[in-house]
Amino acid sequence: SQQGEEDPQALSIQEGENATMNCSYKTSINNLQWYRQNSGRGLVHLILIRSNEREKHSGRLRVTLDTSKKSSSLLITASRAADTASYFCATDGNGNKLVFGAGTILRVKS
């Protein structure tokens, strides 16, 4: 069964605004990762957060993890048109597989 599920499915914002995407999962995890996929391209790793971490930052990205709620959020601050992409969370709670959610499609309008 699908491990991670992102919410919302699609998000449209103006350049300069913040974008928040959420991910929920079902089983215990060791870590959770976020990936970005530009149209027609492969997935690119953004950030990994371990189960014993609550928050992590990387540039304009901020990821939080709440293991009690089995959820994570990805915040992109001061969004740019180049941030337009699909964003996926992935969890390792299903054996030795990294399982991806269905993704959030982010559109940043300039």
Partner 1 sequence: DTAVSQTPKYLVTQMGNDKSIKCEQNLGHDTMYWYKQDSKKFLKIMFSYNNKELIINETVPNRFSPKSPDKAHLNLHINSLELGDSAVYFCASSQGATGNTIYFGEGSWLTVV
Which residues of the chain form contacts with partner 1 (CB under 8 A)?
Answer: 2, 29-31, 33, 35, 37, 40-45, 48, 86, 88, 90-92, 96-100, 102-103, 105
Minimum Å gap between C-beta 5 and partner 1 is 11
Bond from prior residue into 8 cis (ω within 30 degrees of 0): yes
Which candidate, 60, 37, 35, places its Cα nearest to that of 45?
35
Tokens of 27: 């089983």
User: CA of 58: how far to CAs of 26, 49, 79, 102, 105, in Å?
Assistant: 26, 11, 14, 23, 20
In terms of CB distance, is 19 or 105 closer to partner 1? 105
> Which residues, including other chains, have CB under 8 Å from residue 16's CB and lie 6 or more apart?
78, 79
CB of residue 43 vs partner 1: minimum separation in angstroms?
5
**Between residues 33 and 72, which has the closer beta carbon with respect to partner 1?**
33
Lookup result for tokens 């079902």: 26
Is the CB of 5 or the CB of 15 nearer to partner 1?
A: 5
CB of residue 12 vs partner 1: minimum separation in angstroms? 17
Q: Between 48 and 75, name the residue whose CB sits nearer to partner 1.
A: 48
Nearest approach, Cβ of residue 78 and partner 1 (Å): 25
